[in-house]
Structure formats: structure tokens, C-alpha cells
Structure 1
Amino acid sequence: MSSDMFDLDGRVAVITGASSGLGVAIAETLASAGARVAVVARRADRLADVAQRIDGVAIARDLSDLEQADSVIPAVVDALGPPEILINAAGSMFTEEKAEAEPRSAIEQTLGLNLIAPFLLAQGAFPHMVAAGRGSIVNISSISGRVGIPGIPQASYAASKAGLSGLTAELAVQWARHSIRVNTVAPGFFRSEITGPLYDSERAAAYLRRNTPLPKEGSAQDIVGAVLWLAGDAGNYVTGQTIVVDGGWTTR
């Protein structure tokens, strides 16, 4: 019975940001649970490798181009059928400037990829989830949307991630009547392409260890369990929530 709660057999899932890191780990996890997975990212070569490995479908799109974002769900429907699961894992930082110096172009690009694109994808998936009588949307945020991180300037990134939690709560309330659940997972620090330099610096790595109560280095595998829980029936009474998975960072 417990395994049935995490069974996604036959459900079509869309996962963005799925050419590396957390997106790949989520794609592998949902596919292993039986989902038919469409992976979405801009790096077509990497994406094709992921799709082949999980017997999924690759949909190469640059989601920072919002017109390309609009075309994702129709492409998924054509390739696999109507989606019941949407994981918005694509995201990035486009500037390392302090808030007072962030260029407008970088602010707009960050908000476009990290907040507007997930909203557009949710809108695209909505009618298909309504027709199915159920659906789960999981947005991948960050603890940066909840707390400031000293020494790492990221104003527009933090704003976009905080915005995801607000969007999550509002969509959850509006779409609950259709049994569509909308949640956010907010990871703490874990090793990835973006954070690799932090872990490779002994000073920065020591800072991360000192401020993370659990005595381990975070990894993508530490995040995927929460996503699997929210994607399927195990989380069928959970909606509108931002689930923090950070080794205790934000509890200090």
C-alpha cells in the first residue's frame, strides 16, 4: 500500500530545467515511479541524453524566451498526451551585482525565467488537468525566497523565488475546485553547476557546513523525495505549501 502511494504509472509529467542537476534527478525519480516524462531545457544535446536514459521525450526550449515557454505544453500533448504533473525546476541567476547595481535587463530576464515562465506553463497545463480531474504542479524555489543570504547578492533571484510561493498559494486556492494541487519545494544549498564553486572553495564550504545543522553536504537526491511526495497520491491532501528542504538552514 505504501508503494502505491508513490506510484505514478502512466501519468504524463513535464519537468523543466531537466538537462542537469536537480531537474535530471527529478526526471529520473518520476520515471522510476512509472511516469511518462517529458524533459524540457535549452541544451538539446544534454536533454536528448537524459530522455534516452529514462525512455522519455526531449523538448528543447529556452524558457527565458516566453514565446518558447508557451509552446511547451502543446508539444508535450502531441508527444505523450495531456500532462497531469508539472515540475517547474528551470531557474537561474543572470547577475551577481549588488541590488543597487543590478541591470534592468538582468532583472527582467531573471523574473521571466524563474517566475513568469512557470506561470505560463501552469496556465498551459491547466485545461488538461481539469479534463483529467486531477493534477499536481510543483514549483522549485529556494531558501533565497525566504531569507537573505549574507555575502551572496541576489535581489532579483530572491524576488522571483518569493514570487513563486505567492503564485503557488494563489493557484492552489483558485484551482482546488478542480483537484489540482499546487506546491513549492524550496531547497537549501546543495552541490550543483551553479553552487559548485562554493563547495570547491574551502572557506565557502566551511561557511555552508557551519550554517547547516545537519552534518552532511546536500545533494539533489536529498530534494527529490519531497517532489515525488507532492507529485503523486502520497501528497493528495497537500496544496498551497512551500516545503523547505535545507538541512535546517532556515531554522537557525
Structure 2
Amino acid sequence: MQQFEETQKSSSKADEDNAASNERLYGMLPKFVADVMKTGAAVEPRPFKCLAFLTADIVSFTNLSSKSSAKQVVSLLNRLYSQMDEVIDSFEDLYKLETIGDAYNVVAGLNTQETSTPKDFAVSMIECAQRFMEIVRNLDMSDQITDHIQMRIGVHVGPAVGGVANPAMPKYSLFGDTVTITGQMEQTSRPMEIHVSGPTYELVQDVFDFDVSEAVPILDGKQKMAAWWLLNKKRKGHSAHGDAAQ
């Protein structure tokens, strides 16, 4: 009887460990990638015809961090990113790629390629961007040297190639011009503005109102792409996420 109980406990512990391992894996990787890795198979590089990307960056973060204590910087980023992570988790088709310092990168469409459209991805990403801005406006800054921060956001849609670059320390990465252009959309954005590329605008112009931006140089600096400033959501229109922030 004792041996049976010990066997049951051992089995239960193994199940708990396996569940915890699966939860960590799904937290680190897109679902379709985690499902492959669980089988022990290699994750092959995958081309995507269209994904939506977002890059968000804190304005003058280097200057702020140089005047703040290490505790203040860590507290600020933890508070900000934890709220932004909650926004990501509320969308079915959003996935946080990585945070590098104060840069926060998101992609839409990895898990819903077969069930949603590029327009859905773009709408979700813009709604996400709006909610990020709301977080920044209402962020608790009581322990900081300034009473507010500002953020720049760039959004772009296009093709990309995804893959796990280092299976020993798995992280899903995306590559291609679309990723580069998204970064440039953020870099050329104004503080507390959402800078939207021309291809994104074409997908969602019936959902949101925009104001035209100056042409944005991309890649080698010679080719230019039309760009737009997001204003607000139209009163009636398609939404990929119900009653997201207006």
C-alpha cells in the first residue's frame, strides 16, 4: 500500500513538473512553436506573408536613467512592462517578441495565420498601441524623479521569416525588412504619437481616423513610404478585439 501511494505521489509530481514546464514553454514561445518543441522535433524556419509589428520606446530614456537610481529604473520598467504584458495577454493574436532596454516589440498574427486576416492583425496592433499609450498616461510615477514619461510607437505590416535561432535557449525571432521598417516608424514618431505606415493605413483606414505624416525614409534612405498619424477610432467599424480602447 505504501509503495502504491509513493508511486502515485511520484506520478503526480511528474505531472505537475510537466505542466509547469509546458506553461513556461508556452510563455516563452508562440503556441505553434512550443507544440513542435514539445515533440522534440526541430522548428523549421517559416515564411509569413503578412504580420503586424509594433515597436514602442520611451522618449529620452537614456537621459532619465542616467539621473535615476538603479532601483528607480528597474521599478519603472517593471511597472510599465507588467501592464503592457497584461494588454498582450488579452489579445489572442499578439505575441511579445522581446524587450531590449526600453524598447518593447510586439507581433500580431503568428498564432492566427489560418483563422484571421492581415486587417485583423493590423487592427489588433493599433488597438494594442492605443492601450499602451493609455498606460503611459496613467502610470504611477510617485517613486520617480519626474512626474511623467512619454512613449513613441511605430506600427507596420508586411512579410517576415520566423525561426528559433538558438534551440538551447529558445527564443522566437523574426527577420526581414518589415522588422527594420517598424523600427524606423518608431524612431521617426513624435512623443505620445502612434506612427502608422502606408501599408497599415491601407488595411485599416475604414476603422480609424488618421492625419497624414511626412514621408518616411526607409532602408537605404532613398526609398520613401507614405506614413500616417493615428487619431482615433471611427464610431463604427471593424474591431478585432471587441470594445478595446477608443
TM-score by length of 1: 0.29
TM-score by length of 2: 0.30
* Structure ranking higher in helix proportion: 1
> Considering only CA atoms, is the larger Rg found in Structure 1 or Structure 2?
2
